Structure 1
Amino acid sequence: MTQNTGGQDTRRAARSSTLRPLLAAASMALSVGLAAAPDMAHAQDFRFNSISVEGNQRIEAATIASFIGVARGETVSAAELNDGYQRILASGLFETVEIEPRGNTLVVRVVEFPTVNRITFEGNERLDDETLSAIVQSQSRRVFSPSTAEADAARITEAYSQQGRIAARVQPKVIRRSDNRVDLVFEVFEGGVSEVERIGFAGNQVFSDRRLRRVLETKQAGIFRALVRSDTFIEDRIQFDRQVLRDFYQSRGYVDFRTTGVNAELSEERDAYFITFNVEEGQQFSFGEVTVTSDMPEVDADLFQNAIRLRSGRVYSPTAVETEIARLERLAIREGLSFVRVEPRVTRNDRDLTLDVEFLLTRGERVFVERIDIEGNTTTLDRVVRRQFRVVEGDPFNPREIRESAERVRALGFFNDAQVEAREGSSPQQVVIDVDVEERPTGSLNFGGSYSTSSGFGAAITFSERNFLGRGQQLSLGVTTGVDSSNYSFSFREPAFLGRDVAFNFSINYLETDNASAEYDTAIGNFQTGFTFPVSENGRLNLRYGARYSEITELDASVGSIIREEAARGEVWDSFVGYRYSYDTRRTGLNPNAGVLLEFGQDFAGLGGDSTYIESTLRAVAQTRVLSDEVTLRATLEAGALSYSSGSSRVTDRFALGPNRMRGFEGGGIGPREVGPGDVNDPLGGNYFAVARFEAEFPLPVPEEYGISAGVFYDIGSLWGLEETNANVLYEDFTARQVIGVSLFWNTPLGPLRFNFSEALSSEEFDETQSFDLTISTQF
């Protein structure tokens, strides 16, 4: 905060001259001029040979005379003189103005407003001087205007209101200086943040208050109110929440939903709001008959009808309709049909609560894209923004495609705001697309710590840049150390290789571990590069090449013969090619309550290296919400197989099951294990694993602002299979383990934490169970 020079007492005494006397003086001058008007009214007109200006210091007399508009020797009326007087006042240059006819001379006496010497701010902490200086319109070395200063105070107050500080007050004051100058000081009382103490709903019956509050951008003040800013009352955010509520209900078939009003009551202390959304839900509608028609003879409507994926009986959603329109328009382009537009026509059937949708194929206007103009991107290259558009100069103009392109630009995460608008170009048949973006920082340098029940405390340093050199590339470097491990990583990703919808990735990782449970150390290095590209609307395919280095060292005396034989091989190098296919229905989101993710991949080693094998992995996840979206049900299946045709696997190559894949057991806690004399107890991992996880998440009857919910889970799985074994190896065959447990979820400013409390229903004698673990909660 900037401070004025000079003694504090002197400044306070001088500040007794505020804006109020200046405004009062201007009002008094106006009354003097009006009082003179009756005297002038007795004479119907005046004629002056000269105009005498008194009191002016900076403003030229000729300038003041020009405001009056009276020419020498010209006859003027009293009303015209009063108009001239008003023009002088309206110039905003004078604190007081008087005009007096004196014979053939018109005398004009003025007192000029002072000039602003400097502008300072006091009492501001949340908004710095630089921010406030950009808000005010008063300027140094310009004529002081009381009305402008008052307007500046209102602007500052509004800026604080946008941060939720509605109790903020701003008082503009002046300090008189020599040579008719003043220092303008804005005294700021920021006040406290007006939080949202409670959010309620009236009229909702299908969805509970708790469920609807999760939809809103505005949140209730919770126990972390000092760190969370989404619980601050901001009026614009409330308006956004109204639209969010509408989208939420309409995506679930409630097409008649509307918010009839929002009541925001301020507490007596003016530090908290109580907000109530008054809603009307209406009835839930489903899709009725879905048809495709065409008013163009050359278009085969049956071809487009077969491409429709919407089926009768599905809950109605505008998003699903938009998705079908986009699919039909893409089909038209593939069929060589230009300027085809799809117009949805919805027929309402109140009797059976269905909506018939007719997709009409019609000929659109012949309008072309003339050019795409991009502004506001000082760091991001034009091509990064331009490649989010599926159209180029000369292509037919499609408003829907432009809207989708705008969403892709916003989804990049490089901009605070991105506005995309279309305007007429050089002719009515040409359109210019204007893209106006506001960039934001995309890099981060993080220093942090971590704790795991399996590896203890650790420290981490990471650097990441999501828009490297403005090319849209992702770059990250990381160093993570723990009690018994160190991990060094580097990764690079180019999302549009050679300007195509193909992502190129490159990563290197080196991990050193001091495995206290097995009493040996490991060193593992991984290199991988590849390409990922779409193969269908929901499918992606990754093709990759990788190399792997592993070594087992520093064996303890208690290590068994299996690991000793594996460590005796020394350094092992593997070279492989592979693929991974993923199918994710969340990319289209036709059902907002459910989603399916399927991933399958294989690596084929043998292109050089020390061994030949095939490693296959599978992951399938299905999720849905029930009981008015209050309860989330999730099922996950994971499996893997490792098959060697030359060489054999080591403990560093085989699969392991721990809390990340199967709760209730420590890392390496189940599966093949060598147990023998001399305290030998070595988990060996397995060539095969299969795990099924089932869980449900639900709210708890505690204040929602605590951010606490709960869940229950059931896991069943096994780890088995070795190439080489001996009489001391146990659990080499498939033996299922089962675990049940409860989870506690806690949303904190540090991240969503998950506390798992588990109990093994079935386990073997040497399995290592784990009744509690703390992790970062991940979302499907």
Structure 2
Amino acid sequence: MVWGKFAGKSCGERKTGINILYRKVSAISLAVALGYALSPLPAEAQSFRFNTVQVEGNQRIQTSTVVAYTGIERGQTVSAGELNDAYQRILDSGAFETVEMVPRGNTLVIKVTEFPTINQISFEGNRRLKDASLDQIVESAPRRVFNPSQAERDAAAIAEAYSVQGRLASRVTPRIIRRSNNRVDLVFEISEGDTIEVERVSFTGNRVYSDRRLRRILQTKQAGFLRSFINSDTLIEDRLDFDKQVLRDFYLSRGYVDFRVNSSNAEVTRERDAVFLVVDVTEGQQFKFGNISVSSEMPEADADLFSSTLKIKPGVVYSPTLVENAIDRMEGLAVRNEIDFLRVEPRVTRNDRDLTLDIEFVLRRGPRVFVERIDIEGNTTTLDRVIRQQFRSVEGDPFNPRSIRNSAERIRALGFFANADVETREGSSSDQVIIDVDVEEQPTGSLNLGGAYSVTDGFGVSVGLTENNFLGRGQRLSFNIATATESDSYVLGFTEPYLLGRDLKFDLDLGLNETDSSFSEYRTKRIFFQPALTFNTGEDTSLQVRYTWDSDEMLFSDNEDDDTTSFLASPVIRNEIAQGERSSSGVGFTYRYDSRLTGLDPNAGFLVEIGADYAGLGGDSEYIKTKTKLVAQKKILNEEVTIRATLEAGSFQWEGNGSSRSIDRFVLTPTIMRGFEPGGIGPRDQSGGAPGRGSYNDFLGGNYYAVARFDAEFPLGLPEELGMRGALFYDVGSLWGLQNVDTSNPGSGNANVVGRSRSFRHVVGVSLLWTTGIGPLRFNFSKALQKEDFDQEQSFDLTLQARF
């Protein structure tokens, strides 16, 4: 690095510089002096004895300090080598720009030039990083002694800050401007350079998984024409390190225990504006679980009892996560059975012949150590109890390192903290442990603006205010407004994740929904109030119980006070509108099983939801409404293709007086049954209309429905950065039944209602799935293979949802 000396009247006026000589040794003078001094004794070793040491040129640093640097005492005999060492010690002190040592008989003269002090520090050429941010990076500071080495380190730190943003071509040059009174202005000249894009990510050594599949799991992405919406296509070293770990976790979870990343090379293009990233990997062989056993070294721990908690079976693809889950279950069982200090040690035996891993879980007694206390620091807003709730141990409990690690992960998963470090140290005695929790809080409130489009509801805008750590209590408070062409929603929500300090979630929703769909001749208005409790009933299961009160009504679309508009609705709809506002009060539950939480296969999952609601605890309505949903999903062909099967069914039984309404019964939308308009299948009122209008064709909903959906998603062979995938789907379903309905048609007998009987419709279609920078797009093109004449088909559907 060349350090320039500038002359000028101001910091901004830079003149032609001259090089500063920081380390100048008068070697010739010293050699000549030594030669004259020793010329009479050429055969003897050179030595000196100084009675006096004079220091010249020092202003800030005292003479005694300079003499102390030499280490030479008055009257001491020193050799030429020792004199040279003294010179080096003065130079290494970092306080002097030049040092010159001149022996003059019995006097040693030390001539020094002190480094100047820094008057001010400025940055030039920076646009991406502001001065305030750069001030936090550099360690040089005004009113301190200028140190060229420190300035070089500061320049390197600034360049590193730019490289984190993908600007690897940035250059930082420190320069000084001389001022009076031995002061300098330190200027960092910055050339930010362009962002280095990742032009291509490729792999070598991979045989099982394709480049396309591996690219999908990396945070580093290839540059594409949508790069203005993303910043993950820049080359960042920390991101590469993270991607290496992601690759390792990906392969380990699929049984490739010998996987390793050999290297990751970034080759810069000739224009130096992009790189080709090549990752060399070794996959190895896939291993499966072999013999699974449990042995106990503790008399009070029954191996057979702990074996009953195992879900791992021989022949299942090996995964470290499954082993960790098994250990957690067994150690949890020990706590419930009051077996203290039990540790589970997995002992692995490798069988290369059949590519299996035998796992023996050994139950042994761990160190007899207790938790003395839990110290929490750094939380200025969040209450201590919010953090303590993530620990399964309290003061006085046996210490379990695995439980503490899991607690640390739960604290980080809260999203309340930018950093959360959990460490242990010895307590007041060797059998006591203190757990230190050091957190750094971050903003937990958010303002969400979103846009959406669907054929069903049209264009819409949503605004949401959310505070995830309300008053530092770990509670969630939200207010969301969603307005679209044909629907409006206003919802106030509150969530307490640990009600009464237990693992019990409490939700409370209060809202207003209004719809005015172009697919119906009426609009709706609903006010609702719903508290709910959710708790885990097992590792994979949860149960929610709720109370629901709502008040809703059906209104004529245009103007309910205008009698002429009533003829736009069919007789059945007019009868339902005539019922006016009705309220209901009831209880319900939803049971959920999700195998993806602790499933044995990372490429397969199974979801079951069973729910029921009973309305009749007061209000105007009384009914029983049940719904069931089953989803099975699996990735095949080296995880390139995802196949999914979904089954939904529901039943509605009216128990009250009078008749039910369309808004009480089931109405199928394209999210449940594709290929048809909202309410496009099921019972309809096709009564003759007013003179000159023709027949009505209003959907009425149904008491029962059953739909099966089958999807297959696959790559299109296009560049991954486009974010496009294809899909084929097949839907079959029906909506039927119409009991407890007023079908009278005043003056004309009964209304003409069709579609009461069960008739299954069959639909096939293709989809284009496009993940864009503004949100996910899904284009559905469908064709009904079998339908009824009165059904309303919809051959194209587009949905878009974005948050920005």
* Distance across 1 between alignment mates of 2:103 and 2:403: 71
Query: Which residues of 2 match residues 33-432 of structure 1 at below 5 A?
Result: 35=31, 38=34, 42=38, 44-49=47-52, 51-70=53-72, 79-102=81-104, 105-432=107-434
Aligned match of 1:733: 757
Aligned-pair CA distance for 1:135: 1.1
The 1:40–1:677 alpha-carbon spacing in structure 2 relative to 1, beyond 3 Å, is farther
When the two chains are superposed, the root-mean-square deviation of aligned CA atoms in Å is 2.5
Tell me which amino acid in the other structure corresponds to 2:313: R
1:688-699 correspondence to structure 2 within 5 Å: 688-699=704-715
Which one-letter code corresponds to 1:677 in the other structure? G
Contact 1:515 1:522 in 2 (8 A): no
Alignment of 1:676-687 (within 5 A): 676-678=687-689, 679=693, 680-687=696-703
Looking at structure 1, the residues matched to 124 and 682 of structure 2 have their Cα atoms a distance apart, in angstroms, of: 68
**Of the candidates 651, 656, 664, which is equivalent to residue 675 of structure 2?**
664
The residue type paired with residue 582 of structure 2 is V
Q: Which runs of 5+ in 2 are unaligned?
A: 1-5, 39-45, 744-749
Supply the AA of the counterpart residue of 1:560.
Answer: S
Equivalent residue number for residue 792 of structure 2:
768
Residue pair 2:8, 2:15 contacting (<8 A) in 1 also: no
Does residue 744 in structure 1 map to residue 768 in structure 2? Answer: yes
Matched position secondary structure for 1:303: helix
Give yes or no for the alignment of 1:26 onto 2:28: no
- Matched-pair contact (CA < 8 Å) for 1:17–1:174: no
Q: In structure 2, what residue type is equivalent to 1:317?
A: S
Alpha carbons of structure 1 residues 78 and 254: separation in structure 2 relative to 1, 3 Å: closer
Question: Is contact 2:685–2:699 with CA below 8 Å preserved after alignment?
Answer: yes
How far apart in 1 are the matches of 2:622 and 2:394? Answer: 47
Cα shift at 1:75: 6.0
Whether the aligned pair in 2 keeps the contact of 1:686 and 1:720 (CA below 8 Å) is yes
Secondary structure of 2:298's counterpart equals: coil
For 2:36 and 2:382, the matched residues in 1 are separated by 68
Residue equivalent to 1:645: 655
- For residues 460 and 52 of structure 1, do their structure 2 counterparts lie closer, same or farther at Cα, with a shift above 3 Å needed? same
Partner deviation per Cα, 1:97-151 (whole Å, 9 max, x = no partner): 2333445654433322221111111111222212211111100111111111111
Q: C-alpha distance in 2, partners of 1:448/1:345? A: 51
2:408 partner amino acid: A
Q: Is the 8 A contact 1:195 1:233 kept in 2?
A: yes
Conserved in 1, the CA contact under 8 Å of 2:453 and 2:800?
no
Does the CA contact (< 8 Å) of 2:457 and 2:517 recur in 1?
no
Q: For residue 659 of structure 1, what is the amino acid of its counterpart?
A: P
Query: Are 2:611 and 1:601 aligned?
Result: yes
The SS at the match of 2:69 is: helix
* Mapped partners of 1:240, 1:483: distance in 2: 43
- The size of the alignment, in residue pairs, is 768
Which residue in 2 is equivalent to 1:578?
588
Q: Paired residue for 2:735? A: 719
Structure 1 residues 344-393: Cα deviation after superposition (integer angstroms, max 9, x where no partner): 22222233322222211111111122222333334333322221121112
**Contact 1:754/1:777 (8 A) holds in 2:** no
The answer to whether the 8 Å contact 1:443/1:466 transfers is yes
Q: Do 1:123 and 1:188's aligned partners in 2 also have CA atoms closer than 8 Å?
A: yes
Q: Which amino acid aligns with 2:49?
A: F
TM-superposed CA distance for 1:672, in Å, is: 1.5
Alignment-derived partner of residue 753 in structure 1: 777
Query: Measured at CA, do residues 177 and 295 of structure 1 come closer, stay the same or move farther in structure 2, by a change above 3 Å?
Result: same
SS at match of 2:135: helix
Task: Determine the C-alpha separation between the residues in 2 that align with 1:500 and 1:156.
Answer: 48
Please show how residues 526-565 of structure 1 align to structure 2 within 5 Å. Answer: 526-554=528-556, 555=560, 556=565, 557-565=567-575
Q: Does 1:589 align with 2:599?
A: yes
1:696 to partner: Cα distance = 0.7
Deviation, 1:667, is 1.4
Q: In structure 1, what is the Cα distance between the partners aligned to 2:338 and 2:619?
A: 50
Contact 1:619 1:639 in 2 (8 A): yes
Aligned residues of 1:659 and 1:666 also touching (Cα < 8 A): yes
- Aligned AA for 1:621? V
- One-letter amino acid matched to 2:400: N
Aligned equivalents of 1:292, 1:553: Cα separation in 2: 67
Q: Which secondary structure does the structure 2 equivalent of 1:218 belong to?
A: coil
Decide whether the 8 Å contact of 2:197 with 2:275 is kept in 1: yes
Q: Give the Cα–Cα distance (whole angstroms) in 2 for the partners of residues 245 and 314 of structure 1.
A: 21
**Cα separation, 2, equivalents of 1:655 and 1:509:** 21
Distance 1:336 1:10, change over 3 A: closer
CA pair 17-36 structure 1, distance change in 2 beyond 3 A: farther
What's the TM-score, normalizing by structure 1? Answer: 0.93
Quickly say closer, same or farther: Cα 1:99–1:581, change in 2 above 3 A.
same
Task: Name the SS for the 1:332 alignment partner.
Answer: helix
Contact 1:120 1:186 in 2 (8 A): yes
Deviation (angstroms), 1:78: 5.0
Q: Find the partner of 2:624 among 611, 614, 617.
A: 614
Shift of the 297–513 alpha-carbon distance from structure 1 to 2, 3 Å rule, reads closer
Distance 2:64 2:34 in 1: 27
The answer (yes or no) to whether the contact 1:40–1:78 under 8 Å persists in 2 is no
Per the alignment, do residues 146 and 736 of structure 1 end up closer, same or farther by CA in structure 2, a change over 3 Å counting? same
Q: 2 CA distance for matches of 1:535 and 1:48?
A: 90
Q: Distance in 1 between matches of 2:548 and 2:103?
A: 97
Q: What amino acid sits opposite 1:665 in the alignment?
A: F
- Tell me which residue corresponds to 1:3: none
1:504 counterpart = 2:506:
yes
Contact kept, 8 Å, 1:32 with 1:98, in 2: the verdict is: no
| Residues 537 and 382 of structure 1: CA distance in aligned 2, closer, same or farther (over 3 Å) | same
| CA distance in structure 1 between the partners assigned to 2:549 and 2:652 by the alignment | 16
Provide the C-alpha distance between the structure 2 equivalents of 1:279 and 1:496, rounded to a whole number of angstroms: 45
Query: Could you report, residue by residue, the CA deviation over 1:36-90 in whole angstroms, capped at 9, with x for unpaired residues?
Result: 77358637323334x5443333334444344345556666655555444333322
| In 1: Cα distance, 2:303 partner to 2:684 partner | 64
Unaligned residue ranges in structure 1 (runs of 5+) = 1-5
Q: Residue 28 of structure 1 aligns to which amino acid in structure 2? A: K
Q: Percent identity?
A: 58
Counterpart Cα distance in 1 of 2:87 and 2:290: 74
CA distance in 1, matches of 2:223, 2:283: 26
| Aligned-partner Cα distance in 2 for 1:249–1:166 | 30
Distance in 2 of aligned mates of 1:210 and 1:270: 25
Distance 2:25 2:35 in 1: 16
Q: Cα distance 1:192–1:199, how it changes in 2: closer, same or farther (>3 A)?
A: same
SS of the equivalent of 2:530 reads strand
Partner SS for 1:326: helix
Distance in 2 separating the partners of 1:36 and 1:735: 113
Sort the Cα spacing of 1:175 and 1:646 in 2 relative to 1 into closer, same or farther, 3 A: same
Q: Distance in 1 between matches of 2:374 and 2:779?
A: 51
Specify the SS of the correspondent of 1:279: strand
- The amino acid across from 1:359 in the alignment is F
Q: Aligned equivalents of 2:27 and 2:15: distance in 1?
A: 27
